Chain A
Amino acid sequence: MLKQTEGSAAVAETVAACRPEVVCAYPISPQTHIVEGISDLVRAGELERCEYVTVESEFAAMSVCIGASAAGARAYTATASQGLLYMAEALYNASGLGLPIVMTVANRAIGAPINIWNDHSDTMSQRDCGWIQLYAETNQEAADLHVQAFRIAERLSLPVLVCMDGFVLTHAHERVDVPEREAVDAFLPRFEPAQALDPAEPVTIGAMVGPEAYAEVKYLAHAKQLQALDAIPEVAAEFESAFGRPSGGLLRGYRTEDAETVVVALGSVLGTIEDTVDAMREDGVAIGALALKSFRPFPVEEVRAALAGAKRVLVVEKALAVGIGGIVSADLRMALAGLEVRCDTAIAGLGGRPITGEALRGLFEDAVAGRLRPLTFLDMDWERVEAELRRLGEGGRSGPHAENILREAGIVAGRSH
């Protein structure tokens, strides 16, 4: 039903329409509204045959999902930030065991310094944990991706992360055509597990594997992710014919046909990027954008094909790999290997710093003019950074960086060291 609603509420209703049999809930901002919304639906009796389990931690949330999924139940949970890190060990187990769990991550920065706002540090930190990672640009897509995620997960026996920008999407009210239950029922068949714990037919899920077979079992996880490169666009196409709107897939180009400069990004920032692209196109600049919808698996061939005609590529990333810079960029450069395409990285929006059209315009103009260095930090206050580095260089007890920078910013009172 088309309505004006909060992103979290739309996701909660959509997940309920997917009829999960076990939902594990542990609150953490900015994800909490989602599991609260599902809890309301369970309590009101609108989600039948669903066990809603309040657990004591994120580690427990994922562990209960693993148990439920291994027993053949459709299992779901949601988390963010430190919560995702706290379940890291269980994430590897879920994927390694081939359990088709679906989880929403309301993307949020990671401390220290503690910060509850949006960036992609959390899911990027788990890029190698074996889960499929899909990124939503809008709340409509966030809702739709959950329907697709269960189908992809269960087809491949792989867990899927649906990533939506915390606060920017989860707390935004906009129009969403929330998938109707009947339509979801028709789209999403009952879960038929490829493996299930059944006392009548005992199997071992999670047997120890030594050097004689570990590499082969591990490779199968890679092979399944590569299969997902086919499954993701297939499911997106099936979704479009069933629901009448495009959503998901591996990637989406925007005005890339004759673009000399292409900006690559993930998630909700693409909206502001596309507005900026339009404004620059009006001024005659050959610029376009590429929305990366699937980060894991990384669609190497598709990205290469989409960017082959470009002269330069700028990756706008909402996460920082400390010690090197970009995360998505590294994969992108692999996709572009051998092509005469320059690839630069801009780190933007860390810890919820707004990414404005004005700042993007300046950044893109620098990219077009070839003025960018390989690694750029958008809207960074270099004076503050350099003052703190000087303080540190002076030796002695320079104090904690976070507090010092907050003093410089006038947010915390008191003298500077």
Chain B
Amino acid sequence: MEGAAPSRFEVRVHGRGGQGVVTAAELLSVAGFDEGLHAQAFPSFGSERTGAPVVSFCRFDTRPIRSREPVSRPDALIVQDPTLLHQVDLFAGLAADGYLLVNSGRDLTELGLADLLDRHRPERLLTVPAGEIARRLLGKPLPNAALLGGFAALTGRLRLDSVQAAIRERFRGKPGEANAAAAAECFELVAARTGEGARA
């Protein structure tokens, strides 16, 4: 809400049921907690049907988080499924200096989002082929972990190792390692392209 301390950082994740939208926000919150932050993750309740548009939220703060309202003015957006781009009002409330990470092998102009580049800081808006990275490393096009690695590099808000630790805690064994590798690959990819804030 207005008047919140600048230490507050709010993330909204858009995807479809089955892509791990809710898990993404939860993993972000665990990584934040591991870094000593207060973190709160919650889904857009009740609509988690396979294939249906799903939204989840994550707040970080250096102080305890009391608000329970959905994130309406996100500092960062993660879009897991580019087919949502023109179906759902994904960019509602995104701050002019906000971050955007879209899972796609095409760039924002190719996705028909060139106008976003004019309204925001273009170096903070990125597409990454997270699904492709996942297909190669996991055998499934689940973009979740890769996007979280990309988020860490893009925003500088989390370290890669805490994102990977959160992933390994949730997915034990081989799937955990493959997802952690996907996060690392996407982290490097984004870090090489933006140079901003990436803390390996």
Q: Please report A residues at the B interface, Cβ cutoff 8 Å.
A: 3-4, 6, 29-30, 116-118, 165-168, 171-175, 268-272, 274-276, 278-279, 282, 352, 354-358, 361
**Which residues on A sit within 8 Å (CB–CB) of B39?**
4, 173-175
CB distance A357 to B65 under 8 Å? no
Which one, B2, B40, B69, contacts A172 given CB within 8 A? B40
Q: Given A172-B41, A276-B1, is A117 in contact with B68 using a C-beta cutoff of 8 Å?
A: no
Q: Given A171-B42, A282-B3, A356-B72, is A271 in contact with B29 using a C-beta cutoff of 8 Å?
A: no
Interface residue? B9 (CB, 8 A)? no
CB distance A272 to B68 under 8 Å? yes
**Which residues on B sit within 8 Å (CB–CB) of A117?**
45-46
CB distance A172 to B67 under 8 Å? no
Interface residue? B38 (CB, 8 A)? yes
Q: Please report B residues at the A interface, Cβ cutoff 8 Å.
A: 1-4, 25-26, 29-30, 32-34, 38-43, 45-46, 65-70, 72
CB distance B4 to A275 under 8 Å? yes
Q: Given A167-B46, A173-B42, A174-B40, is A275 in contact with B29 using a C-beta cutoff of 8 Å?
A: no
**Which residues on B sit within 8 Å (CB–CB) of A175?**
33, 38-39
Which one, B3, B4, B32, B45, contacts A171 given CB within 8 A? B45
B42 (CB) vs chain A CBs: closest residue? A172
Complex Cα distance A163/B33, Å?
26
Complex Cα distance A268/B40, Å?
13
Which one, A4, A30, A166, A272, contacts B67 given CB within 8 A? A272
**Which residues on B sit within 8 Å (CB–CB) of A174?**
29, 38-41, 65
9 contacts between A and B (CB under 8 A): A4-B29, A6-B26, A118-B45, A167-B43, A172-B42, A174-B29, A272-B1, A272-B66, A357-B67
**Which residues on B sit within 8 Å (CB–CB) of A270?**
66
B16 smallest CB distance to A (angstroms): 18
A140 smallest CB distance to B (angstroms): 10
**Which residues on A sit within 8 Å (CB–CB) of B67?**
271-272, 275, 357
Name 6 extra pairs, CB < 8 A, besides A3-B33, A357-B69: A172-B40, A174-B65, A272-B69, A274-B66, A352-B46, A356-B69
**Which residues on B sit within 8 Å (CB–CB) of A4?**
29-30, 32-34, 39
B30 (CB) vs chain A CBs: closest residue? A4
Complex Cα distance A255/B40, Å?
24
Which of B1, B2, B45, B72 neighbours the largest number of chain A CB atoms within 10 Å of its CB?
Answer: B45
Complex Cα distance A171/B2, Å?
25
**Which residues on B sit within 8 Å (CB–CB) of A172?**
40-42, 68
CB distance B26 to A173 under 8 Å? yes
Which of A29, A268, A269, A354 neighbours the largest number of chain B CB atoms within 10 Å of its CB?
Answer: A354
Q: Given A174-B39, A175-B33, A278-B3, is A352 in contact with B72 using a C-beta cutoff of 8 Å?
A: no
Q: Given A117-B46, A167-B46, is A173 in contact with B68 using a C-beta cutoff of 8 Å?
A: no
A11 smallest CB distance to B (angstroms): 16
B172 smallest CB distance to A (angstroms): 15
> Which 9 A-B pairs give the minimum distances between C-beta atoms?
A357-B1, A271-B66, A4-B33, A167-B45, A279-B3, A173-B41, A172-B42, A356-B69, A4-B30
Complex Cα distance A282/B1, Å?
14
A273 smallest CB distance to B (angstroms): 9
CB distance A268 to B2 under 8 Å? no
**Which residues on B sit within 8 Å (CB–CB) of A116?**
45-46
**Which residues on A sit within 8 Å (CB–CB) of B32?**
4
B22 (CB) vs chain A CBs: closest residue? A171
Complex Cα distance A3/B1, Å?
26
CB distance B3 to A271 under 8 Å? no
**Which residues on A sit within 8 Å (CB–CB) of B38?**
174-175
Complex Cα distance A390/B172, Å?
58
Complex Cα distance A279/B2, Å?
8
Complex Cα distance A352/B47, Å?
12
CB distance A279 to B65 under 8 Å? no
Which of A116, A174, A274, A278 neighbours the largest number of chain B CB atoms within 10 Å of its CB?
Answer: A174
**Which residues on A sit within 8 Å (CB–CB) of B1?**
272, 275-276, 279, 356-358, 361
A168 smallest CB distance to B (angstroms): 5
**Which residues on A sit within 8 Å (CB–CB) of B45?**
30, 116-118, 166-168, 171, 352
B192 smallest CB distance to A (angstroms): 30
B11 smallest CB distance to A (angstroms): 13
A278 (CB) vs chain B CBs: closest residue? B3
Which one, A3, A166, A271, A361, contacts B68 given CB within 8 A? A271
Complex Cα distance A166/B39, Å?
19
**Which residues on B sit within 8 Å (CB–CB) of A361?**
1
**Which residues on B sit within 8 Å (CB–CB) of A168?**
42, 45, 68
